[in-house]
Structure 1
């Protein structure tokens, strides 16, 4: 019966091509607007590491006086003093301090010009913590962290650029005139949003080209390529900056269980209280632990314009559906004589519901196909509205295709319920008498 009713629906659509075209356009444009903005919202609100997002925690410690804080929240980065102390205590399963650096990569081929790399200084735990995949080799060891080893892990793209894609483990990379031995080559890895450093990237940016040891970067006095915020003048020179209360280091801890979280939070409170007793802090301990999703939300990574655009587009879809309700009502009620005859011949109201809802589904399917085309055009043009780094994340994949068609059909069938109910209330006797 479904195939029969579907065939009747297609015949009915051909009877009133203008009315049918209006309904298909209303559904297509409404669905396309909502799906285009949803593609952007989905990309920006994506969970970048779902398998561990509840186990990785950003650490915050208030090393500034309360009057220097924003709404009482600890700063969104740590000072070198705090990051170094936490690293030495090593109370988490894994933990890492990290900050962005921008070293110049000097190719071995003298005919090629040096170029800046998108890099981070971090501890060796970073690779296991962030589930970074490897094409060749692995990260460096804790001993190399302690020894300030001249080692580096590079990306697949950088390996292709420097070594032609071969296994480069043991080869050397020249960064700012210093040679580093390659211990690993990352496979394709570009989590979006960039959960580990939204402070400096606003959550979106290019893939990481390389990681180098945090201790090595500090030993060579490599400054941060990101934010550096101070609530008072720093001391003279590099050592003065390290001893200052300037904040510039992100700190992450891996805490697999709720008990681990509670234990680590207690440790942070104890550490802050110890700093208070030592005279460094003159205020009560103020520390925070936020997992990946909480951290991204706290940093407002999802652009407000994407949320607003999504709400506006859903409102537009609703308006389109209201118009579709009116068009379907006009279409169905014009067939009252046909409905009366069918009811007089024994058709039940359920049969009328089935026929007309399937017919509405056919309209939704056609509107969905139009919506797919318009969605593809919309995704292609989102760069005109959103930042380029965000716009490139919005893509048309199989899930978006399926969702677009499903939303179009479901929305049209939902809009058809009232017109169908009105059609099913037609009294056969009245129609037979008047016709």
Structure 2
């Protein structure tokens, strides 16, 4: 019966091409507008590490005066003093301090110019913490962290560039004139948003392709390639930078259970209290411990314009559906004589409901196909409205295509309930008498 009703629906659509075209266009444009903005919202609001987002915590400690804070919130990074102290305390299952650096990669071929890659200085624990997959080798050891060893892990793209994709473990690369031994090559890893460095990237940026030990980067006096914020002017020189109250280092701790997270927060309060008693702070301990999703929300990674655009586009879709309801009502009620004859011949109201809802589904499906084409065009033009780093994440993949067709069909069927109910109320006797 479904196939029969679908066939009747297609015939009905061909019978009123102008009315059908108006309904298909209304659905197509409404669904396309909502899907285009949803593709952006989906990319920016994505959980970048769902399997561990409730186990990884960003650490904040207020080392600035309360009057220098925004709404009493601690800064979104740590000083070198605090980062090293937390690393040495080692109160978490795994932990890492990290910051972006900008060394020059010097190719072995003298005819090629040095170049820069997105690079992070962190501890070996970070690879296991962030579930980073390896193609060859693995992370450097804790002993190499402690020895400030000249070791590195390469990204797949950089390994392809330097070693043509071969296993480069044990080979050396030159960074700023110093040799670093490769301990591993990671597979493609590009979490979006970039939760581990949201304070510098706002969640979106080029994937990291090079990693070196934090301790080695400090030894080599590698200045950060990210933010360096101070509440007071620091002294000059590298040592003054390390001793200053300027914040520039992110800190992450892996705490698998709620009890461990609560215990770590108590430790942070105790550490801040120690700094207060030592005279470094003269205010009460003010610390925060936020998991990945809380951290992304705190950093306002989802652009406000994407939320507003999504709400506006959903409103536009609603308007299109209201228009579709009116068009379907006009279409169905024009067929009152046909409905009256069918009812007189024994068709039940349930049969009328089924036929007209399937017909509405056919309209929705046609609108969904148009919506797919418009969504594809719209995704290509997202860069005209949003930042390019965000726009490139909006893609028309199979899930979005399926969702577009589903939303178009389901929305049209729901919109058809009232017109179908009206059509099913047609009295056969009145129609037969008047015709």
1:185-211, CA deviations, whole angstroms, 9 ceiling, x for partnerless residues? 010000000000111101000010111
> Which ranges of structure 1 fall in alignment gaps of 5 or more residues?
none
Following the alignment from structure 1 to structure 2, what is the Cα–Cα distance between the partners of residues 297 and 395?
23
Deviation at 1:115, TM superposition (A): 0.5
2:273 match: 273
Deviation digits for residues 135-161 of structure 1 (CA, Å, limit 9, x no counterpart): 100010000000000000010100111
- Alpha-carbon distance in 2 for matches of 1:238, 1:369: 60
Q: What's the counterpart of residue 114 of structure 1?
A: 114
Q: Helix, strand or coil for the counterpart of 1:196?
A: helix
| CA shift digits 1:280-307 (9 cap, x unpaired) | 1100000000000000011000111111
Local SS of the residue matching 2:97:
strand
Residue 335 of structure 1 pairs with residue 335 of structure 2: yes
Q: Secondary structure at the match of 1:139?
A: coil
Aligned residue in 1 for 2:91: 91
Matches within 5 A, 1:20-99: 20-99=20-99
* SS in structure 2 at match of 1:183: strand
Retained in 2: the 8 A contact 1:364–1:409? yes
2:355 equivalent in structure 1:
355
Q: Report the equivalent of 1:213.
A: 213
Q: Deviations over 1:299-347 (max 9, x none)?
A: 0001111111111110110111011001000000000001111111111
Counterpart CA distance in 1 for 2:103 and 2:351 is 72
Is 1:429 matched with 2:399? no
| Residue 3 (structure 2) aligns with | 3
For 1:91-240, what aligned pairs fall within 5 Å after superposition?
Answer: 91-240=91-240
Partners of 1:235 and 1:243 within 8 A in 2: no
Gaps of 5+ in 2: none
SS at match of 2:252: strand
Helix, strand or coil for the counterpart of 2:195?
Answer: coil
Equivalenced residue count is: 435
Instruction: Tell me whether 1:254 sits opposite 2:254 in the alignment.
Output: yes
CA contact (8 A) 1:98 1:120 kept: yes
The equivalent residue for 1:412 is 412
Report if aligned partners of 1:55, 1:256 keep a CA contact under 8 Å in 2: yes
Hey, what's the Cα distance between the residues in 2 that align with 1:381 and 1:74?
A: 38
Q: What does the per-residue CA deviation read over 1:51-84, in whole Å, with 9 as the maximum and x for residues that have no partner? A: 0000000000001110110000000000000000
* In the alignment, structure 1 residue 264 sits paired with structure 2 residue 269: no
Q: CA RMSD in A?
A: 0.6
Partner of 1:13: 13
CA contact (8 A) 1:24 1:366 kept: yes
8 Å contact from structure 1 (residues 28, 367) kept in 2: yes
User: How far did residue 397 of structure 1 move?
Assistant: 1.0
- Deviation of 1:408 after TM superposition, in Å, equals 0.4
2-structure distance, mates of 1:391, 1:173: 34
How far 1:236 sits from its partner (Å)?
A: 3.3
Distance in 1, matches of 2:365 and 2:225, equals 51
Task: Tell me the TM-score normalized by structure 1.
Answer: 0.99
Equivalent residue for 1:386? Answer: 386
Kindly state the Cα deviation for residue 235 of structure 1 after the two structures are TM-superposed.
Answer: 2.6
2:192 aligns to what SS in structure 1?
Answer: coil
